[in-house]
Structures are given as C-alpha cells and as structure tokens.
Structure 1
Amino acid sequence: MHTDARNIENNSLIEGDICIVGSGAAGISMALEWLNTPYKVILLEGGGFEYEAQMQDLYKGKTTGQRYYPLESARLHYFGGTTGHWSGFCSTFDPIDFEERDWVPHSGWPIKREDLDEYYARAHKNLDLGPYEYSAKYWQDKNPDLKGLTLDEKTVYNKMWQFSPPTRFGTKYRDTIVKAPNIHLYTYANVTDITANENASAIKEVTVKNLAGKQHTVRAKQFIIACCSIQNARLLLASNKQAPKGLGNQNDNVGRYFMEHLEIKSAEIWLTKPDALKLYHWEWEITKARAELAISEEMQRKHKILNGTASFTPLDIARKQPAFIDIWTADTAQTKKNMAKFDQLGQDGKKKEGYKAFQLFTRVEQAPNPNSRVTLDTDKDALGVPRAILHWELTPLEKHSLRGIYKIIGEQVGISAEGRVRLLDYLQDESDNTWPAFTGGGWHHMGTTRMAANPKNGVVDANCKVHGISNLYMAGASCYATAAAPNPTLTLVALTIRLADHLKQKVKSAV
C-alpha cells in the first residue's frame, strides 16, 4: 500500500508494529522479510519514486580533511536509494575481517564470518546474483577461458566478485511493496526527529515532514533506521531532546569511525607476453563473475597490512581515464556525462589479442579511525534538520598497506616469471604519508553506528540494536566495525536479513 504523505491531513498519526526509516537496499530488504506476516509495517521514504533536485538538496553537507565527493551526490534520496546508481559489485567479507587484529586499532566484530553464511545465500536472491559460490576454481570450471596469473595461492590468491545486473531496488521491488497488504509505504515522509521516553530507554515515535509543509507522527513497537551511514548518524545526533548528545551517543561514538574504501591507482604490471587476463576482466552489465588479486590472511598478519584487492585495467586505457574523484560532481547531469565518457574510453580501447601492460587499481579497507567522523553543522536543511559535516581522515596504515600489498604481489609476479610490477611514484618513498590529488573513495559509506559488544566501543550490539535503547535498530553499512575489502552492498543486505530474523523472534516471543 502506498501513500503520498503530502496528500494526507496535516498532523496525522500513523501507527504500526514495525517502522522502517529509509527505502534503499537495507530498508527494502527489511520490508521484504515481513511480507505476508500478521504485522503492520510502516516504510518511510523521504523522497518519491524519481530523482528530484530539491530532495537531493536535503543531503547537502560540508566535507573537511581528505578531499571527498559532494555529499548530495554520493547518495540518492528516493525509493530504491543508491541502488539507483550502483554498479553491482558483490563479494563476501573474509574471516579475518571480523577478527581483532593487533595491528589494526579498533578492529574486531562481536560476530564471526560464519554467522553470515546463511544470510549471504539469502541476500543473493535480493540482488539477482548467481550461486553462492566464490571460489575461482568454481567459475573457471564453468568457463575455462577465465585465465589469470599463476601465483602462490598461500600468498596471493584470486578473490572472486559476482555482479548484480545491477538490481535497481526501486524498480524491481516497487510493485511488490506497493501491493503488499501489510506493508504501508509513505513517500515524502522525511524523518526529522526521533522521540524517546524520558530516560531515553525506548523510542515512542518519530516525526516526519515534507516540503509541502506537512508534519506527521509515526508510532510503532520497533524502529529500524536504514537511511545510509551519514544520514543514520545525522538523525541520531539531531534527535537530542531526551539525550542532549544525541540518541545512542552516551559514549560519543555516533558518527565516529566513518570508513570508505580507498580506491586508487597504485602500480603497473608489465607482462612478458600479451595476455587478455580474462579472469580479471569486467564489462558493464555483461560480466557475471571476475577475480581481483588479494593477499592471504597469513601474509596480512605477517606484514601487518589492511585487507585490499587489486584489479586490472589495460594501461593504455587507464592512462586516458580521469580519476573518479574528478568525475563525480554535485551536478548530476555533468556526472552522468563524465561517467559515460569514462566508460566509452574503456570500450574504445579493447583488444582481443590481449595487452602487454595493465594498471593495477586498489580497493583497500580504511582502518577504523575515531577522528574520521560525521558531526552536525549549525546550518539546517529546508526541513529544519542540521546538515552533516563529514571529516574524512586517513592514517599512515592505509599507505603502508598499499605498499605492502604491491611488494607482495610484485615478488610473486617476479617468482612466476610472468612479468614485473612497478609502484607508482607516490608510493616510492616509504617515509611519505601524503596522498596524491587523484586519491578517491568508492562511495562506500560505513561505520558511523559501529557494532560492538561493549557500548563504550560502539553504538549497536551484535543484533544491530542501539545500546541502551530497547526498540531502536540500525540497518546497513553504518553498523560495520571494519570495512573489509569488498564493496558493502552484499554484506549489508545479509546483515539486514539477519536483523529481520532476530526481530521476528523478538516480536513473536512478546505475544
């Protein structure tokens, strides 16, 4: 069932059993888990069904520290959320990503990798992925043409990615949500405040507003905030009537530990003979699976480096393509033109016979850093909510890890006699911790309401419940304690499905 919140009587009271705030990958995945149940689910979306500039303006904010993308362009504010412009990259986290690592400050989750296996498999259906198989051998057996480098797998291995079509949640699941008798979707219902009881131990209601001047109240038994990492933190911080520092922020953790994937060109590989290296090849909306080079857990421990992967782009193509940080602007139309030109350069340069040289492009996790954070500005948006300020701050561990990754890969490529690896200039000096102008992120926001067993170390517990608040949950990548190397969407959907199962048990036992 769908209702446009601009068209109902002002100050309406909306009531249900479950209230989900946000309809991106996490919010819609949560709603789908409640289909055909006896519970009334309220799904709140701030925008409508299409892109609107005035809705995007509500996401506008400031950035400081390491150069970053305009905040209003990094996330989409309408039904389906940022799945409206994602590329479909999916891979699982590794066991080491959940462990406490003595060389990675603030690392460690209160859950293990195997706790997500069941949910990864279920998330595949939401994302239109293939079989729950991530071994290179499985995909090479299916397609013998997928050939890569022959390296020692105990040191450098082929980590597989699968590719969603990519699934646009706003398109695929719109009819399912709108026609569901127990799912009540409200568009143009921006949550501007969360009201708790007097001692902030439980949530009573949320306030929604829209640009038509309407305000409504939503009451439910359980609340799930599934906006995105920046907006999740922003909303908790701005909801400060009962808790002056913001809800869930008694230990000053809300908004801290913002993480991105550092995505940056790092090295070149020159082969002894031309090769297509099809195992590492990616073609938009065609490729079903590909590999990236990854460093084994044993070698990560030995060299005390972060988890990261290396992808291949033919060097003569890569040298013509601008850095992502220069492509993505606040002007959506211009960004689309920039991306189209970037993709066209890749298409024009293809050679069937293979290439002699490739650029190695890294996606490496950012170390959890409490100084990398989201705070509130004094400036407010059109609905009266303080805008976000993102301070993105890297540490020397990220650059040390980049050097370590390519030292290991370079040694293995040399041993195999398949070629040589050359570090780019900015990585040559081991005492230099500065970053070049082309440094960018993957638009992967994580960690601002991080998961931790102890409330002193995080915002939510192992079930994504906000510490100290009985009925408030966070959904999505804001719960990540560490970023790992893979793109976050598959894991955030899996974590959301796990949360849904927990909530079903909770509401069932309460009856």
Structure 2
Amino acid sequence: MHTDARKIDNNSLIEGDICIIGAGAAGISMALEMIGTPFKVILLEGGGFEYEAEMQDLYKGKTTGQKYFPLQSARLHYFGGTTGHWAGFCSPFDPIDFKQRDWIPHSGWPITREDLDPYYARAQKNLDLGPYDYSLEYWQKQDPERIPLPLDDKAVFNKMWQFSKPTRFGEKYKATIVKAPNVHLYTYANVTDITANEAASNVKEVTVKNLAGKQHTVRAKHFVLACCSIQNARMLLASNKQAPNGLGNQNDNVGRYFMEHIEIKSAEMWLPKPDLMKLYQWEWGVKARAELAISEEMQRKHKILNGTASLNPLAVAKNWKPMIETWTADTAKTNALMSGAKKALKEGPKLKSYNSFELFTRIEQAPNPNSRVTLDKEKDALGVPRANLHWEFTDLEKHSLRKIYQIIGEQVGISNAGRVKLMEYLRDENDSSWPAFTGGGWHHMGTTRMADDPKKGVVDKHCKVHGIANLYVAGAACYATAAAPNPTLTVTALSIRLAEHLMERMKAV
C-alpha cells in the first residue's frame, strides 16, 4: 500500500507495529522479509519514486579533513536509495574482517562470518546474483578460461566477486512493496525528529515532514533507522530533546568511526606477452571476476589492513579521470550521477589480450574515532541540522597499501609471471602523504558501530541501540570494520538478519 504523505491531512497519526525509516537496500530488504506476516509495517521514504533536486538538497552538508565528494552527490534521496547508482559489485567479507586484530585499534565484531553466512545466501536472491559460492574452483568450472596467475595463495589469493545487473531496488521492488497488504509505504515522509520517553530508554514516536508543509506523527512498537551511515548518525544526534547529546550517544560514539574504502590507482603490472587474463578482467555482463587479495596469514605477519587489487588494462585505465574529480555537487543537480554511472560501466574495458594492467586498490580504512559525522549550525529546508563530515586517515592505511603491493610484487616476480611497478607515492616508506587523486568508493560505513560493550559502540549484535529498548539501526552504519568488499551484499544480509530478529521478538510478546 502506498500513500503520498503530501496528500493526506496535516498532523495525521500513522500507527503500526514496526516503523522502518528509509527505503534503500536495507529498508526494502527488511520490508520484503515481512510481507505476508501479521505485522503492520510502516516504511517511510523521504523522497518519491524519482530523482528530484530539491529532495537531494536535503542531503547537502560540509566536509573537512581528507578531500571528499560533496555529500549530496554520494547518496540518492528517493525510493530505492543509492541502489539507483550502484555498480553491482558483490563479495562477502572475509573471516578475518570480523576478528579482533591486535594491530588494528577498535577492530572486532560481536558476530562472525559464520553468523552471516545463511543471510549472505539469502541476500544473493535480492541482488540477482548467482549461487552463494565465491570459490575460485566453482567459477573455473563455469568457465575453464578463467586461469589464475601462478601465485602462492598462502600469500596472495584470488578473491572472487559476483556482479549484480546491477539491481535497482526502486525499480524491481516497487510493485511488490506497493501491493503488499501489510506494508504501508509513505513517500515524502522525512523523519525530522525521534521522540523518546523522559528516560530516553524507549522511542515513543517520530515526526515526519515534507516540503509541501505537511507534518505527521508515526507511532510503532519498534523503530528501525535504515538510512545511510551519515543520515542515521545525523538523525540520532539531532534528536536531542530527551538526551542532550543525541539518542544513543551517552558514550559519545554516535557519528564517530566513519569509514570509507580508499580507492586509488597504485601500481602497474607488466606481463611478458599479451594475455586475456579472463579471470581478472571485467566488462558489462560478466558474472564474476577475481581480484588479488592478501591472505590472513600475511595480514597478521605484516600487521596490515585488508585490501584488494583489481586489474584494468593500462591502455584503457590511463585515460580514466580520477573519480574524486568527476563527481561534484553539480552532478547531483543535473541528475547525471545515475546516468553517468551507467555510462561509465558500459564504457569500461572490453575483453581482449593486454600485456600491461593498472592495479587499482580498494582498501579498508582503520576504525578512527576522529573520522566522524557531527551536526552543522546550518539547517535544511525541513529544519534539521545539516551533517558535517570530517574524513580522516591514520598512518596504518598508507603503510598497509604500500605493503600490499610489495607482497603482490614479490609474488608476481617469484612466479615469473611478470613485474609490478609501484606508483611514485608508494615508493618512499617515510612518506605518509596522499596524492590528490585519492578517492573513496561512496561506501559510507560506521557512525553507529556494532559492539557488545556500550562504551565501544552504538548498537549491539542485533543492531539494537544500546540503552533504548525499541530502536534499531540497519545498514553499513553498524559496521565495526569496513573490510575490502563493496558494502551492499553485507548490508542486505545484515538487514535480512535484523528483520528475522525483529519478527521473532514480536512473536515472543
């Protein structure tokens, strides 16, 4: 069922069992799990079904620290959320990503990879992926021409990726959500405040507003913040009537530990002769490929972060402009952020033999409490303080990036498969600076991190906000560490897991 919140009576009261705030990958995945259940689900989407510049403006904010994309360009504010411009890259986190690593401060999740495996398998369907099998052996059986480099997998292994179409949740699941009798979708319903009881231990209601001047109240037994990492933190910090520092922020953790994937060209690989390298190349329509990854043993030995290297034909990649320079505030205003992404995907490398490749890195950022989201003094058109993102690195990122390519270079040389040439910015071990083309993947993570101890995180292992009985957070905001893969597959898996937990809790009452 769908209702345009601009067209109902002002000050309407909307009531249900579970209120999900945000209709992107996380919120829609949760709603899909609840279709056909006895629970009345309220799904709130701030925008409509299409891109609108005035809605996108509500995501505008400021950035400091490491250069970053304009905030309104990095997320989409309409039904389906940022799946409207994602590229479809999917791979599960590695087991090491969930472990406490003594060389990485603030690492360690209260859940394991094994805890997520059943939900990863279910998430594959949501994202139109193949079977939940990311082994090299499986994909070689599908195509024997996927021949790996002859590297020692105890040092460098082939981490497999599957590619979604990419699935646009707003297009694929619109009819399913709208027709679901127990799911009540409200568009143009921006949550502007969360009201708790006086002890700030239970959420009573949320206030929604839109640019048509309407305001409504939503009451439910349970509430789930399923916006992006920046907006989830922004909403908790701005909801400060009962808790002066913001809901869930009794230990000053809300908004902290913002993480992104550092995405950056790093080296070149030269082969003795042209090779198709079909296992590693990617083009539109390819279902899977491998990236070079560092084994858990070597990560521990060298005390480095997790990261991967993708191979792009150098003849093609050398003409690519760094993404940090191409996605600007104007991108959002002209709606090119969607068509531009699709165009870039279709104009990517074509499968043919090359003898030189650019090695492009995606590496996790170490959890850093100084990398954070705070509130700005400026307010948006609905009266909510805008977000201020301070993106900050530690010395571990540069050390890890350099060591990753030293390991890859050694293994490529030992196997006589070719030679690896580091880019200039990685050669001096005493140089901790970053080049101007350093970018991110638009992968917002952290800000309401998961931890058993309330002093170390915002939500528990079930994504419930510490100290608040009926408030949850869905999505990558809950990540304790970022791992190397793009976040959408894990976001979807965690959301399915949260939906299952909530329904079990509802049934137990």
Q: Normalization by structure 2: what TM-score?
A: 0.98
In structure 2, the partner of 1:374 is 373
| CA offset digits 1:476-508 (Å, max 9, x no partner) | 000000000000000011011111111111111
CA contact (8 A) 1:282 1:290 kept: yes
Report the residue type matching 1:261 in the other structure: H
Specify the SS of the correspondent of 1:185: strand
Higher mean alpha-carbon deviation, 186-195 vs 320-329, is at 320-329
The CA deviation string for residues 372-400 of structure 1, in whole angstroms up to 9 with x for no partner, is 00000000000000000000001110000
> Percent identity, aligned pairs only?
76
Counterpart in the other structure of 1:503: 502
What is the match of residue 232 of structure 1? Answer: 232
CA change 1:309–1:385 in 2 (3 A) is: same
User: Secondary structure at the residue paired with 2:186?
Assistant: strand
Quote the Cα distance in structure 2 between the aligned partners of 1:489 and 1:111.
Answer: 18
For the Cα contact (< 8 Å) 2:134–2:160, is it kept in 1? yes
Residue 490 of structure 2: aligned partner: 491
| Consecutive unaligned residues in structure 1, runs of 5 or more | none
Misfit runs of 4+, over 6 Å: none
Per-residue deviation at 1:342?
4.9
Other-structure match for 2:354 = 355
> 1:201: which partner in 2?
201
**Which residue of structure 1 lines up, in the alignment, with residue 152 of structure 2?**
152
Post-superposition offset of 1:152: 0.6
Compared CA separation, residues 485 and 254, structure 1 to 2 (3 A):
same
**How do 1:83-232 and structure 2 match up within 5 A?**
83-232=83-232
Matched, 1:412 2:411: yes
Note if 1:365 corresponds to 2:364.
yes
Partner Cα distance (1:172, 1:316) in 2: 36
Tell me if structure 1 keeps the 8 A contact 2:282–2:351: no
- Kept in 1, the 8 Å contact 2:190–2:210? The answer is yes
Query: Which SS does the other structure have where 2:159 is aligned?
Result: strand
TM-score, structure 1 as length reference: 0.98
Question: Does the 8 A contact of 2:87 with 2:341 survive in 1?
Answer: no
User: 1:327 touches 1:335 (CA, 8 Å); kept in 2?
Assistant: no
Find the aligned partners of 1:131 and 1:344 in 2 and give their Cα distance: 25
In the alignment, the residues of structure 2 paired with residue 278 and residue 418 of structure 1 have an alpha-carbon distance, to the nearest angstrom, of: 15
- Name whichever of 325-334 and 14-23 sits farther off: 325-334
Q: Distance in 2 between matches of 1:229 and 1:266?
A: 28
Counterpart secondary structure, 1:280 = coil
SS in 1 for 2:234: helix
2:304 and 2:436 map into 1 onto residues whose CA distance is 23
- Tell me which residue corresponds to 2:472: 473
Q: In the superposition, relative to structure 1, how do residues 404 and 216 fare at CA in structure 2: closer, same or farther (>3 Å)? A: same
Match of 2:261 in 1: 261
Measured at CA, do residues 16 and 87 of structure 1 come closer, stay the same or move farther in structure 2, by a change above 3 Å?
Answer: same
Check the 8 A contact 2:259/2:366 in 1, yes or no.
Answer: yes
Q: Give the RMSD, CA atoms, in angstroms.
A: 1.2
In the alignment, is the contact (CA less than 8 A) between 2:85 and 2:338 conserved in 1? no
Counterparts of 1:338 and 1:424, CA distance in 2? 28
After superposition, give the CA deviation of every residue in 1:184-242 in whole Å (9 maximum; x if it has no partner): 00000000000000000000000000000000000000000001100000000000000
Aligned residue pairs, count: 506
Residue 49 of structure 1 is matched in structure 2 by 49
CA-CA distance at 1:345 after TM superposition: 5.9
Q: Which residue of 2 aligns with 1:10?
A: 10
Whole-Å separation in 1 of the counterparts to 2:141 and 2:356 = 27
User: 1:346 Cα shift?
Assistant: 3.7
Q: Is the 8 A contact 2:450 2:461 kept in 1?
A: yes
Residue in structure 1 matched with residue 65 of structure 2 by the alignment: 65
One-letter amino acid of the structure 2 residue matched with residue 415 of structure 1: I
Residues 143 and 344 of structure 1: CA distance in aligned 2, closer, same or farther (over 3 Å): closer
Looking at structure 1, the residues matched to 125 and 82 of structure 2 have their Cα atoms a distance apart, in angstroms, of: 18
Distance 1:156 1:345, change over 3 A: same
